[in-house]
Amino acid sequence: MLAYIARRLGYILIMLVLVSFVSFLIIELPPGDYLTQKLQELQARGDRSAEMRIAEYRARYGLDKPLLERYWIWSTHFIKGDFGDSFEFERPVTEIIGQRAGMSAILAISTITLTWLLAIPIGVYSATHQYSIGDQITTIVTFIGLGMPGFLLALIVLFFAMTVLGQEVGGLFSREFQDAPWSFAKVVDLLKHLWIPAFIGAVTGTASLIRIMRGNLLDTLGQPFVEAARARGLKERTVIWKHAVRVAINPLIVILGSEALPQIIAGNALVATVLNLPTLGPVYVRALQVQDMYLAGTVLVFIVGMTMIGNLLADLTLAALDPRIRLE
């Protein structure tokens, strides 16, 4: 067991090295770099000393060195917890991530909780009442939910919140709480804002999870052990939850593990951009666009790392829940 975990962690480490290097290469691929763009910008503004300042930057960030050397410097510092500086923010990457990671996590956790709390009961209802009116409505709604792009939904909800609820939207805090210290009122204010992105994030996730739960449970309900459990005299509710759902839900653990953790880092960037949320997603997208190397690279490494750790956790949980699965 411990040997298994150690081996998996080893693979994760190797993967991270590979991924970080490849992503470094890819971010570098478009012609020019952050500073070439910056230079053009400054020159367009008529800044005479542009060339000089850029050269100074180039030396400071080591951009004049060859790619391999830069990767080596960045990765060796990375291990020590120094992720380099962001060109655009002109601040250490650690600081930017530190500022936003908390909000990203709060948003992701509330989205995931909402998704599961909605999807599991609805999926179970839908499967146990197959072809009933409720099931048909669920099916239609989930298809709409699956087809609707998140950013479009974000715009619709924004509009609804502004016109009908008269609520100030965008961001996670009202202006007066933006920089205020934490207090009960600030938490309430956060919740008032949080429901919008959490709801939007939950819609697509819930829709697909309902479909999966319904399908798995329908398969399981047709299994002889469900009938055998019923023939033992159990209540229908016990038959469904203790026997059928307990078996049907196992594959969903994998989904939770592999999707939830990376989502904490940079979930739903598009929706977060529309809603102007202080989370990591929008920053990450922006960093990729302007070739803000170290910021983009760091976030990417974290996403990959979280995905793989999530998979490992999912496998461990699954092994604990399902006696048929053995970790090799």
Does position 129 bind other proteins by CB under 8 A? no
Does position 324 bind other proteins by CB under 8 A? yes
With CB under 8 A as the contact rule, the residue among 14, 18, 231, 289 that binds other proteins is 231
Residues 158-177 close enough to bind other proteins by CB under 8 A: none
Does position 219 bind other proteins by CB under 8 A? no
Binding piece for other proteins, criterion CB under 8 A, among 83-91, 117-125, 294-302, 318-326: 318-326
As a whole number of angstroms, the distance between CA 264 and CA 259 comes to 9
Task: List, in sequence order, every beta strand (DSSP E) within 230-299.
Answer: none
Does position 228 bind other proteins by CB under 8 A? yes
Place of tokens 């962690």: 9
**Which residue's CB is nearer to other proteins, number 30 or number 222?**
222
Backbone angles phi and psi of 86, in degrees to 5: -90, 130
With CB under 8 A as the contact rule, the residue among 102, 235, 241, 289 that binds other proteins is 235
Does position 117 bind other proteins by CB under 8 A? no
Tokens coding 138: 């669920």
Does position 5 bind other proteins by CB under 8 A? no
In this structure, is the dihedral angle defined by the CA atoms of residues 122, 124, 126 and 132, taken in order, positive or negative?
negative
As a whole number of angstroms, the distance between CA 296 and CA 149 comes to 25
- Total residues contacting other proteins by CB under 8 A comes to 20
* Nearest-5° Cα angle at 280, 57 to 5: 105
Closest by Cα among 277, 312, 256, 288 to 119? 256
Residue 30 DSSP code: S
Shortest gap between Cβ of 137 and other proteins (angstroms)? 20
**Which residue's CB is nearer to other proteins, number 90 or number 328?**
328
In this structure, is the dihedral angle defined by the CA atoms of residues 120, 122, 128 and 131, taken in order, positive or negative?
negative
Does position 320 bind other proteins by CB under 8 A? no
Shortest gap between Cβ of 327 and other proteins (angstroms)? 15
Does position 227 bind other proteins by CB under 8 A? yes
Does position 56 bind other proteins by CB under 8 A? no
**Which residue's CB is nearer to other proteins, number 60 or number 242?**
242
With CB under 8 A as the contact rule, the residue among 64, 176, 219, 236 that binds other proteins is 236
Closest by Cα among 313, 234, 267 to 105? 267
In Å, how far are 115, 215, 221 from 123, measured between CA atoms?
11, 8, 13
With CB under 8 A as the contact rule, the residue among 37, 223, 273, 317 that binds other proteins is 223
Does position 246 bind other proteins by CB under 8 A? yes
Q: Which residues contact 281 (CB under 8 A, 6 or more apart)?
A: 104, 266, 267, 268, 269, 270, 271, 272, 273
Does position 234 bind other proteins by CB under 8 A? yes
Binding piece for other proteins, criterion CB under 8 A, among 41-49, 75-83, 225-233, 308-316: 225-233
Closest by Cα among 208, 169, 207 to 189? 169
Does position 133 bind other proteins by CB under 8 A? no
CA 294 to chain centroid, in Å, comes to: 20
Does position 322 bind other proteins by CB under 8 A? yes
Rg (C-alpha) for the chain, rounded Å, is 24
State the residues that interact with other proteins by CB under 8 A.
Answer: 223-225, 227-236, 243, 246-247, 321-324
